[in-house]
Structure 1
Amino acid sequence: MTDARTTQLADRLTAVHQRIAAACAAAHRPVDDVRLVVITKYFPATDLHRLADLGVIDIGESRDQEAAAKLAELPASVRERLRVHFIGQIQSNKARHIAAYADRVQSVDRAKVLAPLARGALERGRVLPIFLQVDLAGDDQGRGGVLPAKLPALAEAAATTEGLELVGLMAVAPLHADPAAAFERLASLSQQLRADHPGATLISAGMSGDLEQAVAAGATHLRVGSAILGDRPAPR
């Protein structure tokens, strides 16, 4: 579809890609090392359709009911072009349903959700790639995540759960903290994780306001919403 909104999204996507390219150049990293995940929560299915037509592959959703409904609205030819990352806090009673439509889950932070996620994946006849979300604040800011001290045990549980593939770590920079320092800590935790789980090489970090610091610290996935889609509409 082509309209004023599509043009707006195209211009904003270009600006974000330019920021990513500049950040990669400054960090001496190939731009292909970094994947953009456009965060589409609260935005309508029509925006997902527009993004797909603009070449976006990876999108992020955080509310189970909303995500499933929006994806169901999309034509099959559009849905199959999108890779859906679930990034929200996971309720254990919804984990199996999330695994039915999500192509990646970035927000695994406790062992209780592993089994239902695995069941949902196996029912689809596939293995579900997962990131473990790390709490870098340690003071319950409401952003979710496993404490770093508990990360090795959760990683071992995830790696030995049939139907799941541990691919890396995700984190949100703590409020009022230096994002560069937070992402460096995440990179250190990732290095430690790879000692026991060599395949867990991915790092999801950085959003609209701090993507440059995330790239500098080695992020492989950036979760960008407002810089592309604009101010978030009121929840429906």
Structure 2
Amino acid sequence: MTDRRNELAANLAKVERRIAAACAAAGRAREEVTLIVVTKTYPASDVRILSELGVRHTAENRDQEAAPKAADCADLPLTWHFVGQLQTNKVRSVVGYADVVQSIDRSRLITALSREAVRAEREVGCLIQVALDAGESGRGERGGVGPGGIEELADLVARSEALRLDGLMTVAPLTGEYASRQQAAFERLVDLSTDLRSAHPAATMVSAGMSGDLEQAVAAGATHVRVGSAVLGVRPRLG
């Protein structure tokens, strides 16, 4: 376990240096950017080590893996983010551990989350997932709604009991006008966040950027970056 701890500590230090350098280059304070470590496919023992190393935000994208892992780590001072596409039949389970759901992209999901959060007596933070490969009002290949769908969903979250509208999230698109233009995509998300805050001032989170493009996200103004492989290593193939 000592070897794994040393490996994770070294990787985490490298990522911290990258974030700090990106913040300095952008004229931002390091404290403006929160690191979320995406722990999918890695065991609860790694989550425990990361917590010991000071990580406070972790993310998962599949409930069948996340639920038992979060239960194993329930004693740790962690904020759990759910970042994958979420089916309504998994909402009850996800509400049991997720503090923030970053993949809000349809009204039916919001209704289900509100109902289960009320039942569980929990408040769940919500990010609208924006698909920048979807045109103005379509749906993205990896979930999310086009920019034209943000207002309706944001208003619904804000009106829903036991839910909190925290902001916006995106994944750099593989197709469309922003393909291979990560910083432009993230700048577009920040512009959309500015628009959103005119109606919902508390919705300040901008979740963007992963292991390969966190610098572009920080330069654009992201408040949260979601980093997995750069901290935990290259993931094993599934299936």
What is the TM-score of this pair, normalised by structure 2?
A: 0.93
Would you say the 8 A contact 1:128–1:165 is kept in 2?
yes
- Cα distance in 2 for partners of 1:54, 1:101 equals 21
Residue in 2 aligned with 1:136?
132
- Which amino acid in the other structure matches residue 228 of structure 1? V
Question: What are the superposed Cα offsets for residues 24-69 of structure 1, whole Å, 9 maximum, x if unpaired?
Answer: 1111111101000000011111111111111111000000111001
State the one-letter code of the partner of 2:55.
V
- Could you say which residue in structure 2 is the equivalent of 1:210? 213
Q: Where does residue 96 of structure 1 map in the other structure?
A: 92
2:236 corresponding residue in structure 1: 233
Gap runs ≥5 in structure 1? none
1:160-199 equivalence runs, <5 A: 160-175=159-174, 176-199=179-202
SS in structure 2 at match of 1:144:
coil
Match of 1:77 in 2: 75
Q: CA deviation at 1:141?
A: 5.6
Cα displacement string for residues 129-163 of structure 1 (whole angstroms, at most 9, x for unaligned residues): 11110001117663110111111111111111111
Which of the numbers 100, 106, 109 marks the counterpart of 2:105? 109
2:20 alignment counterpart: 21
| Secondary structure of 2:101's aligned partner | strand
In structure 2, the residue matched to 1:125 is: 121
How many angstroms apart in 2 are the aligned matches of 1:186 and 1:141?
A: 14
Name stretches of at least 5 consecutive residues in structure 2 with no aligned partner.
Answer: none
Alignment partner of 1:222 is 2:225: yes
2:72 is equivalent to residue 87 of structure 1:
no
Q: Tell me if structure 2 keeps the 8 A contact 1:34–1:221.
A: yes
% of aligned pairs identical? Answer: 52
CA distance in structure 2 between the aligned counterparts of 1:231 and 1:111, rounded to whole angstroms: 35
1-side partners of 2:190 and 2:103: how far apart? 17
Count of paired positions: 232
d(CA) in 1 for partners of 2:124, 2:70: 18
One-letter amino acid of the structure 2 residue matched with residue 43 of structure 1: Y
What is the root-mean-square deviation in Å for CA atoms of aligned residues?
1.4
The residue that corresponds to 1:51 in the other structure is: 50
TM-score (norm 1): 0.94
| Offset, 1:198 | 1.0
Query: 1:52·1:82 contact (CA, 8 Å) conserved in 2?
Result: yes
What secondary structure does 1:77 align onto? coil
8 Å Cα contact 1:21/1:31 also seen in 2: yes
The one-letter code sitting in structure 1 at the alignment partner of 2:45 is T
State the 1:96 CA deviation: 2.3
Q: Tell me how far apart the structure 1 counterparts of residues 37 and 189 of structure 2 sit (CA, whole Å).
A: 21
Partner of 1:201: 204
